[in-house]
């Protein structure tokens, strides 16, 4: 039995779900503008997935002067081209145009970036980029930025509610008026009233069995928005990072290739020559990931399905200076030292280009509800994200979301407390029933099956027959969840309850990926159909939109917002 907390409902001007870079950047701006802020996070903010970002953050600072003159317009073109022209170009202009200011702002807050010989922020090349524009802090850039923002937030009067799992949004008269959350420590339900709610919950990578994502990335924000009536956009576009550590799928940053690392198959061949002769290892991630997987399929990889990342020619000094984290990960988890040994790598799920449909100012179709960061689809990444643009999105659109919420005044906080408390009781009863049902299967079994289904049926290469079987099984799993339960009836820190709630999020999100991928009969960016290997601009230069009504998912389409960059063939 889940109880309602004694301090059952709290009121804030702004409620932010998620304590990663996006959520903290929005929280900081709102607090600076005098708004009362609640940050509700499933984990401590410093354990958010943002901390795992390694390689860097893009901005046209022009600090690598030997490479020519960069510009935000060049950055925008690279982003649109890398996105296979599915990105909304107005949103891309905001992202890239604001990038230099956003990075320098983080530096002035205290973020310690690596430096070049002139003392400026160092920049290195990343895949799909025409200039070395990726600013970095060795190979732990996300860690540096997250700690910087958290320190800034701690100097303001922001209420943090750590280890709280948001289970539902409160919608009153068509407007988002708050939310309810399960407190892991007490096992109680708590309510939050707010004039504006931001979903900054990250991606949904853990619906796949081989993923670089933290275990917390289960699509909770996408589920909350979907069940509240908002749309999910472009869910079929799931990025597979080319280089994850074989066996564990821990990320081996693109920075390793940006510094000059090369990929070799089991025959010792630098095989990228066959797939992207000009860009080689620095082609966009979707191209490199497919190339590696093709080598595996053709028997050119090592037994078990991996290729080698060779960093040995970089030398110990450069590796220790610029890739110390990568070296330590390789030693600790693969038993190899990149200074003098090859690193075994294979593709793994890494990023979600799709997410909650949001406008350029982060508003969803539900008044009072916003989305930003990886949880959202604004869309700045289109069909494929370039490395270095994810951290940029968090700090640019986190601030945009904060500015939008500041404009939603306290006058919007007209709530019916009884409605929120009724929602809290329903959610509490729902959690309580997890230990009451007659269990045909366990939640853990369903999770394992879902993750394997998604990787094998909606992975790097896709076709109609395989996806159709996968979609039918994912749909069936949604119904089986109602007959699954958990064994742990403990009140405090019941992780079995959290895993069940996460699975409740994961299943409809996975089905949204499935139906969108099955309907898109073309190959574009990360979505590669072996039965439709060509891009089809005539029929599919459009966004996939998934909505839910009475538990059923429906697919429609929306136009891509084009701009100055003409749609062309993507060649690297």
Tokens 């317009």 sit on residue = 73
Residue in the structure block whose two tokens are 């709610």: 197
Return d(Cα 202, Cα 218) in angstroms, integer. Answer: 8
Beta strand spans in 142-270 (E)? 158-162, 164-172, 175-183, 188-199, 232-233, 238-245, 262-264
How far apart are the C-alpha atoms of 315 and 337, rounded to whole Å?
12
**SS3 label, residue 90:** helix
Distance CA 482, CA 508 (A): 13
DSSP string covering 380-447: SSTTSPPTTHHHHHHHHHHHHHHHHHHTS-GGG----HHHHHHHHHHHHHHHHGGGTS--SEEHHHHH
Q: Are 240 and 460 in contact, with CB atoms under 8 Å apart?
A: yes
Stated length of the chain: 572
Q: Give the separation between CA 511 and CA 493, rounded to whole angstroms.
A: 29
CA within 13 Å, CB half, 415: 26
Instruction: Identify any residues that bridge with 376 across adjacent strands, giving them in sequence order.
Output: 356
Is 285 tagged catalytic? yes
- Distance, in Å, from the CA atom of 518 to the CA atom of 383, rounded to the nearest integer, reads 15
Asked whether the beta carbons of 503 and 441 are under 8 A apart, the reply is: no
Which of 155, 180, 141, 219 is CA-nearest to residue 24? Answer: 155
Reduced to 3 states, what is the DSSP secondary structure of residue 142?
helix
97: exposed, middle or buried (Cβ count in 10 Å: 0-12, 13-18, 19+): middle
Return the H-helix or E-strand segment holding 511. Answer: helix 495-519
- Indicate which residue of 285, 385, 529, 570 is catalytic: 285
Which residue's entry shows tokens 């089905």?
Answer: 511
Catalytic residues, by residue number, are: 285
């Amino acid at each position: 039995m889940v109880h309602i907390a004694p301090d059952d409902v709290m009121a804030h001007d702004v409620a932010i779900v998620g304590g990663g870079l996006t959520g903290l950047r929005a929280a900081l701006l709102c607090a600076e503008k005098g708004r009362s802020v609640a940050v509700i996070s499933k984990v401590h903010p410093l354990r958010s997935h943002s901390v795992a970002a390694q390689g860097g953050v893009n901005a046209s600072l022009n600090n690598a002067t030997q490479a020519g003159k960069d510009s935000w317009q060049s950055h925008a073109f690279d982003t649109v081209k890398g996105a296979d022209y599915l990105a909304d170009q107005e949103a891309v202009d905001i992202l890239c145009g604001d990038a230099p200011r956003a990075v320098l702002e983080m530096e002035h807050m205290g973020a310690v970036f690596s430096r070049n010989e002139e003392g400026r922020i160092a920049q290195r090349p990343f895949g799909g980029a025409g200039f070395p524009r990726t600013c970095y802090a060795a190979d732990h850039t996300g860690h540096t930025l997250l700690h910087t923002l958290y320190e800034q937030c701690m100097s303001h009067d922001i209420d943090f509610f750590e280890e709280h799992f948001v289970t539902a949004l409160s919608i009153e008269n068509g407007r988002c008026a708050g939310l309810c959350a399960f407190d892991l420590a007490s096992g109680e339900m708590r309510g939050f009233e707010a004039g504006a709610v931001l979903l900054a919950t990250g991606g949904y990578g853990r619906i796949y069995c081989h993923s670089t994502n933290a275990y917390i990335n289960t699509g909770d924000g996408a589920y909350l928005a979907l069940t509240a009536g908002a749309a999910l956009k472009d869910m079929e576009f799931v990025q597979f990072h080319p280089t994850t550590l074989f066996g564990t799928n821990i990320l081996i940053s693109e920075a390793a290739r940006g510094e000059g690392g090369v990929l070799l198959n089991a025959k010792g061949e630098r095989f990228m020559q066959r797939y992207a002769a000009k860009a080689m290892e620095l082609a966009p991630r979707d191209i490199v990931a497919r190339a590696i997987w093709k080598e595996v399929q053709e028997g050119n990889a090592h037994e078990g399905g991996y290729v080698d990342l060779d960093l040995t020619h970089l030398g110990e000094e450069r590796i220790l200076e610029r890739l110390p984290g990568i070296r330590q990960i390789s030693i600790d988890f693969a038993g190899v030292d990149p200074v003098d040994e090859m690193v075994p790598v294979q593709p793994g799920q890494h990023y979600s280009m799709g997410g909650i449909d949001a406008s350029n100012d982060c508003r969803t179709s539900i008044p009072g509800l916003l989305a930003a960061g990886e949880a959202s689809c604004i869309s700045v990444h289109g069909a494929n994200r370039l490395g270095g643009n994810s951290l940029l999105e968090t700090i640019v659109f986190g601030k945009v979301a904060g500015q939008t919420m500041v404009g939603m005044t306290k006058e919007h906080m007209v709530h019916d407390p009884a409605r929120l408390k009724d929602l809290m009781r329903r959610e509490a009863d729902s959690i309580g029933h997890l230990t009451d049902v007659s269990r045909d299967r366990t939640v853990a079994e369903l999770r394992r099956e879902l993750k394997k289904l998604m990787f094998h049926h909606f992975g790097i290469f896709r076709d109609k027959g395989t996806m159709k079987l996968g979609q039918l099984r994912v749909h069936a799993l949604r119904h089986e969840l109602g007959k699954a339960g958990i064994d742990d009836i403990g009140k405090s820190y019941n992780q079995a309850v959290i895993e069940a709630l996460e699975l409740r999020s994961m299943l409809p999100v996975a089905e949204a990926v499935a139906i969108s991928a099955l309907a898109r009969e073309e190959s574009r960016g990360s979505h590669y159909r072996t039965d439709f290997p060509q891009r089809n601009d005539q029929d599919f230069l459009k966004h996939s939109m998934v909505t839910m009504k009475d538990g059923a998912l429906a697919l429609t389409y929306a136009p891509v917002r084009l701009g100055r960059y003409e749609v062309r063939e993507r060649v690297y």
